[in-house]
């Protein structure tokens, strides 16, 4: 593969071997298009809402509140919700706690590997305004400048009941087609990428060509 950066087939880290280059996508994402028949789209949204698979990114304190949801007391699986080990299997991305510059690019990579439609829940006060780390040089104070958030759960730390209530509300929003964060990301991709690159100076991993 050519190292000419002007070529649309060139990735940022074009020094990778030919086999490794094939592991990464350098095409712009496309927005999700609803089914043309409303009844079909309504059924699809019902199915999505009742089969939410969670990718949990525990960046800080609030991530500990995710564990009780999987226990017998809350038994979140009775709502069709399960944790998954990889982004490609997941539809809900939960950011549990503060986000640092160091972890932001890992979060972005994980999100971009998820298949759409996909949804983000920001857990705790830190993703909204930095929380107790608002004046830290290495903390992201407004997470939705970098990725779209579909649901906020504020608190420090919010109890498992609050997170469960947010997931239930997310389910209802999905059913009526109100969760469009993934499409907002695609439609405003250049704006999100510009914000991301103001913070992340060294991606240190294959980047996209936009």
Domain ranges in the chain are 51-199
Question: Is residue 99 classed as helix, strand or coil in its secondary structure?
Answer: strand
Query: Alpha helices, DSSP H only, in the chain?
Result: 18-21, 38-49, 101-113, 126-129, 160-175, 181-187, 189-199
Can you tell me the mean pLDDT for 45-64? 85
Residues in the chain: 210
Q: What is the pLDDT of residue 22?
A: 64
Can you tell me the mean pLDDT for 103-113? 88
pLDDT band at 173 (very low <50, low <70, confident <90, very high): very high
Choose the weakest-confidence range: 1-5, 131-135, 160-164: 1-5
Please say if the pLDDT value at position 177 is more than 50: yes
The span from the CA of 152 to the CA of 150, in Å, is: 7
pLDDT, tens only, 82-99: 888 888 888 899 988 888
Answer yes or no: are the C-beta atoms of 208 and 111 closer than 8 Å.
Answer: no
166-198 per-residue burial string, b: 16 or more CB within 10 A, e: under 16: bbeebbebbbeeebbbbbbbbeeeeebbebbee
Give the DSSP letter string of 9-41: T--TTTTS-HHHHTTS--S--------SSHHHH
pLDDT band at 25 (very low <50, low <70, confident <90, very high): low
Which residues lie below 8 Å from residue 98, measured CB to CB, with a gap of 6+? 59, 60, 61, 124, 126, 127, 130, 131, 133, 139, 140
Q: Per CATH, the architecture of 51-199 is what? A: 3-Layer(aba) Sandwich (3.40)
The span from the CA of 87 to the CA of 110, in Å, is: 6
pLDDT band at 170 (very low <50, low <70, confident <90, very high): very high
Q: What is the pLDDT of residue 206?
A: 54
Choose the weakest-confidence range: 17-21, 73-77, 92-96: 17-21
Cis peptide before 117 (omega within 30 of 0): yes
Phi/psi at 190 (nearest 5 deg)? -65, -40
Q: What is the pLDDT of residue 141?
A: 87
């Amino acid at each position: 593969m050519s190292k000419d950066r002007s070529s649309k087939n060139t990735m940022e880290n074009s020094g990778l071997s030919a086999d490794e280059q094939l592991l990464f996508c350098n095409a712009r994402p496309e927005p999700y298009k609803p089914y043309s028949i409303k009844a079909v789209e309504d059924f699809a949204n019902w199915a999505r809402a009742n089969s939410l698979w969670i990718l949990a990114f525990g960046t800080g304190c609030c991530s500990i509140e995710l564990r009780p949801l999987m226990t017998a007391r809350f038994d979140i699986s009775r709502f069709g919700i399960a944790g998954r080990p990889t982004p490609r299997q997941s539809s809900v991305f939960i950011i549990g706690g503060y986000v640092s510059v160091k972890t932001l690019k890992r979060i972005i990579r994980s999100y971009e590997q998820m298949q759409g439609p996909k949804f983000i829940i920001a857990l705790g006060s830190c993703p909204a305004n930095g929380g107790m780390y608002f004046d830290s040089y290495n903390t992201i104070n407004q997470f939705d400048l970098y990725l779209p958030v579909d649901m906020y759960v504020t608190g420090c730390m919010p109890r498992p009941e609050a997170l469960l209530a947010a997931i239930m509300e997310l389910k209802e929003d999905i059913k009526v087609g109100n969760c469009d964060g993934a499409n907002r990301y695609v439609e405003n991709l250049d704006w999100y990428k510009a914000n991301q690159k103001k913070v992340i100076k060294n991606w240190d991993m294959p980047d996209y060509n936009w």
